[in-house]
Amino acid sequence: MGLLQIPMETNTFFIESPCSQLGKDRKGEPGMKAYMISEKNGKVTSGIINIEEPQLRGPKSVKVAVESIGICGTDLKIYTGHHSQSVGADRIPGHEFAGVVTEVGEAVSELKVGDRVVHEPISFCGRCYACRKGRGNVCSSVRVTGCNMEGGMEEYFVADEKQWHKIPDWMSWNEAALIEPYTVAAQTCVRAKLEKGDSMLIYGAGPIGLMLADTAVQMGAKVIISELADGRLELARKIGIQYVIDSKTENVRQRVMEITDQEGPNIVCDCAGVPALSAEAIDILSPAGRFVPVAPVTFPLDSYKCMRKEIDISASRLQINQFIPVINRFAQYKQHADTMITDEFDFDQIEEAFQYANRREPRTGKVVIRFHRNPDAEEVRV
């Protein structure tokens, strides 16, 4: 069977692609299901294909049956052909995922078959300047699962032991899919040099903005979040953010100055990706404040204002050394994480899930894909 095309604005759907001929096991049966997005000459196609089931690659390899996967904004960029590292490529996306260990290499010491684990998607050289400084997340040759290499939207995934972390038995699979974005939020707080008592303004109440707000509150900050979409404003209120500003109806600058007693926020994080907001951030930051651009957009910068207030500008990318701390304190996030997950789809519905997530409806929080092969923590207790 060749490529079946269903008319869409930017996407078509694979029933079986030429590369799936490589995905037959020794008996000639399909190896495993995977979701692939292809971009060729400005045309994007996507859908479920059959590929070869991965095998252990070395003594430290760990094979995992994927159970839950979060759809991220980066995945949607790949889906719409706007991800710079996936242009012209066949890409299996997915970097927010968890599952059950099914096989381990002979030198694996910390994991065993049956362990519940979450994937850490970055790998780095360990030799370049960034790596020598302990910042492998910005390694000059950093590899990111599902972004510039094969991702986790497939039935099985193999990676080195160091890229898998055990998760507690009480954690649901949907919650496990949120660990990686929570590590991104934690990294942002590190880059912001957040301390207890600091005031933080967050532009944008999408999933990362909400998780950042939740993390900062747990660290003792006074958190203010601004957003346009009613559904996201409601989610921010539901997870207990004290100061939620509707930027459609309120003057954000005036309201923020009132909340901070005219001092201005000590930290501003841009999770919205609107260049004008970055310029506003420099204006309203307190002296000695910190600006963290999280959304990857070009923005104007008034260096004179930065100098006058000695503002630190610290970008944040991915995470480094945040998985274990986030897992250890995830009980604090559990209730709010459940609130942020607004939609769940079975893997066989993944094309529908991407179409839905890409509509970016105001009520949409985090969208999670499930294989439903392993019981959740609650089911195990029953």
One CATH from 3.40.50.720, 3.20.20.70, 3.10.450.350, 3.30.465.10 for 193-313: 3.40.50.720
Asked whether the predicted pLDDT for residue 300 surpasses 60, the reply is yes
Asked if 282 contacts 301 with a C-beta cutoff of 8 angstroms, the reply is yes
Question: Above 90 in pLDDT, residue 378?
Answer: no
Q: What angle do CA 62, 68, 73 make, to 5 degrees?
A: 105
Token pair recorded at residue 358 = 């890409």
Position 293 pLDDT exceeds 50: yes
Distance CA 312, CA 222 (A): 19
Residue 222 has pLDDT above 80, yes or no: yes
Strands 43-51 and 13-14: parallel
What's the rounded mean pLDDT across residues 212-237? 97
Whether residue 4 has pLDDT greater than 50: no
Q: What is the pTM of this model?
A: 0.91
| Architecture of the structural domain at 13-181+319-381 | Alpha-Beta Complex (3.90)
How many whole angstroms separate alpha carbon 49 and alpha carbon 345?
A: 18
> CB 249: neighbour CB atoms within 10 A?
7
Residues of the chain with pLDDT > 90, as a percent, come to 85
The CB-side HSE value for 19 (13 A sphere, CA atoms) comes to 17
- The full set of domain ranges for the chain reads 13-181+319-381, 193-313
Tens digits of residue pLDDT in 154-190: 999 999 999 999 999 999 999 999 999 999 999 999 9
Angle value at C-alpha 139, between 268 and 321, nearest 5 degrees = 65
* Inter-residue contact 300 to 325 (CB < 8 Å): no
